[in-house]
Amino acid sequence: MSMPEDPDSPDRRRKYSLTSPPQVSQTAKDQADVLLHPVRENEIPELAGIYMKAYKGMEEYGEASTDQALLYLQRLNRFCSKGIFKTMVNGRTAGFIVCDPHWYEPGQRKVLEIHELVVDPDYQGYGLGSLLMRFAYSMGRKYGRSVVSLWAGEGNNRAIGWYTRKYGFKPDRKHGVWIHFQTRIEPWKNQ
Ligand SMILES: CC(C)(COP(=O)(O)OP(=O)(O)OC[C@H]1O[C@@H](n2cnc3c(N)ncnc32)[C@H](O)[C@@H]1OP(=O)(O)O)[C@@H](O)C(=O)NCCC(=O)NCCS
């Protein structure tokens, strides 16, 4: 059966309902159209702009300029072009995720690695990060992975709090200013 968030479902464009995101016209029911779909190469420059905006104040963990962010995201896209998806709210790009279901963790079976997860600050706190995270979990399940992992900058308290408290990620190692986190991907019925 093709689940609602299955990344390999024939129809990859999905519609979600989001309550009251900012700067979008409100419908009678106060809902917005939220889509999740794969990113094409020519859409990456737009993502680089959102990336720079989201990492403002955390430059230590981001890229030095929009050009550098573009190069970084283009490089990620070359490595895992099938794992880069963006979310749109009423036609505007609001965030994206880059994930790789074929990632080898030392001493482990393959895991679903999240290389990048970004929500435009104007749209943060409305559930879009969770939507992208659930999508990553779905992709992990699709490929039979039982673990999702990622790196976060040690001072990125907002994201770390979000990963650890909301999703149960646990730190397992550190490299410089980067902390590696993992959590288990539970079966469908539990999430
Ligand atoms: C981290 C990030 C992706 C989260 O995206 P978001 O869209 O703001 O997250 P959501 O709106 O889905 O999360 C809101 C939920 O998380 C909960 N939450 C937020 N911060 C939390 C925290 N520190 N502890 C526990 N729960 C938290 C909220 O209560 C809410 O829960 P609910 O859905 O049950 O109501 C976003 O802040 C971001 O893009 N940050 C900048 C880039 C970045 O740091 N990326 C991560 C790189 S490692």
Tell me how far the alpha carbon of residue 158 lies from the centroid of ligand 1, in angstroms.
7
Q: Is residue 96 within 6 Å of ligand 1 at its C-beta?
A: no
Q: Is residue 21 within 6 Å of ligand 1 at its C-beta?
A: no
pLDDT at residue 26 tops 80: no
pLDDT at residue 83 tops 60: yes
Between residues 171 and 26, the one the model is more confident about: 171
CA distance to 34, 50, 131, per residue, from 21 (Å)? 10, 16, 14
Domain boundaries 14-20+27-190, CATH class: alpha beta
pLDDT of residue 108: 81
pLDDT of residue 187: 74
pLDDT of residue 14: 52
Q: Is residue 83 within 6 Å of ligand 1 at its C-beta?
A: no
Tell me whether residue 80 is exposed, middle or buried, using C-beta atoms within 10 angstroms of its C-beta: 0 to 12, 13 to 18, 19 or more.
Answer: middle
pLDDT at residue 118 tops 80: yes
Say how far apart CA 31 and CA 150 lie, in whole Å. 32
Say how far apart CA 57 and CA 62 lie, in whole Å. 9
Nearest to 147 by CA among 173, 110, 172: 110
Percentage, residues of the chain above pLDDT 70: 82
Tell me how far the alpha carbon of residue 21 lies from the centroid of ligand 1, in angstroms.
14
